[in-house]
Every structure is written in structure tokens, then in C-alpha cells.
Chain A
Amino acid sequence: GQNIDQPTEMTATEGAIVQINCTYQTSGFNGLFWYQQHAGEAPTFLSYNVLDGLEEKGRFSSFLSRSKGYSYLLLKELQMKDSASYLCVGGGYNKLIFGAGTRLAVHP
């Protein structure tokens, strides 16, 4: 089967670090994406991992362990504008499988 699991909601404080976890089961796995989506807006691409390990891009980092079916997104130096949903997305042969998203609320 194909399934993506991630927490529904998280809260964090401005300036802090937060880690959003994701476990997945996808057939024909072809990489793991993270997207950011502000309420009512289109998802925007954050990161892509196809090999095990950590990919760092500015304040955002993403990690993948294929053997464990596990990924996380790490957000550092949180800003208020980081309040959004974060979608864990499994890449398949002919489509992406989206998790329901983790709604992150950053407060002062």
C-alpha cells in the first residue's frame, strides 16, 4: 500500500528549532519531497531527498532513511512567516503521494 504519516499539528516559538517527522510506505519509491503550504495557497517546493542522509538549504534541512521509511524536516531560527502546513510527499513512478500535512503554528 501507499501511506504517508505525519503529525497533524505542532507549535513552536519564534527563534527556536522544530523537527517535523514523517513515515512513509510507498510502492515504487522515487524520492521524498517536502512542500510548504500557507492556508488557501498553492504548495511550494522546499526539498527533495532520494538518497539517505541530510540535505541542508539555508534554515531548512531534510533527512531521509530509506531503510526505515522515515524522513524529517528541520526548521531553524523560526520566523512568524514559517507558520504554515508542511507536506511530506512520497515520489512514485507516475505521481506524488501527499501526506495530510503538519500545521505548524509559530508564536512570539
Chain B
Amino acid sequence: EAQVTQNPRYLITVTGKKLTVTCSQNMNHEYMSWYRQDPGLGLRQIYYSMNVEVTDKGDVPEGYKVSRKEKRNFPLILESPSPNQTSLYFCASSKRQGNYGYTFGSGTRLTVV
């Protein structure tokens, strides 16, 4: 089944403790992206990647890192999480950049205390 797999689904952590949210897609998509969703706001892009070893900042990249060493994986790293990073996170992939629809992962609800 074609899908984007995100883990974990739920995570509660403490301020400053490094964490990684994994994202993997099995559709051979070139384009992958991370979004965060907060109440009353649309999904906001954190980082995106147009292909292996090519990543770039989105609209809200502060406090986050990503890597794209393989086509299928695009982990999101929070080196020193803070409470304002409490949010619902979605990984998405697309065949290529441009006017192709996204396939989303199931989401990761992160709480930083």
C-alpha cells in the first residue's frame, strides 16, 4: 500500500531533550516536506526537500533540522525542544515539486513540557 509512515503518533517530552520524528514513504517520491499545524492556523511548512541531499527552509524552520540521505526517509530533528514547539506535525510527500497533490503521514502530536 502506497503510504507515508510517521512515527511516533504521540510524544510527550521535556524541554531540551533532543528528539527525532521519522518519516518514510514507499512511493519513490522526490519531494518531501514537514508541516506543523496549530489551532486557528493553516499548516505551516517547516522544511522541504526536492530530492536526496537537497533540503531548504520553509516558513517556520527555527528550532528544527532535517536530513535527506535516502529518497524514502526525511526525519525531523528537534535538537532542543521548547514548549512553543508543542504542535501537530505532518510529513508529506509528492511525486515532484509543483502542482502535484501531497500524500500525508498520519501525524505526530508532540507535547513539550
Contacts and interface: CB of A to CB of B under 8 A. Distances in A.
Nearest to A48: B101
Nearest to B35: A98
Contacts, number: 54
B48 A94 contact: yes
A100 B41 CA distance: 5
Interface string B17-48: 00000000000000001010000111111001
Given A42-B90, A43-B104, A95-B58, A30 B99 contact: yes
Interface residues of B, number: 25
Nearest to B107: A42
Assign chain A's interface to a size class. Answer: 20 to 34
Given A30-B99, A94-B48, 16 more contacts: A4-B42, A42-B104, A43-B43, A43-B90, A45-B103, A87-B42, A87-B43, A91-B98, A91-B99, A93-B97, A94-B50, A95-B45, A95-B58, A96-B102, A99-B42, A101-B42
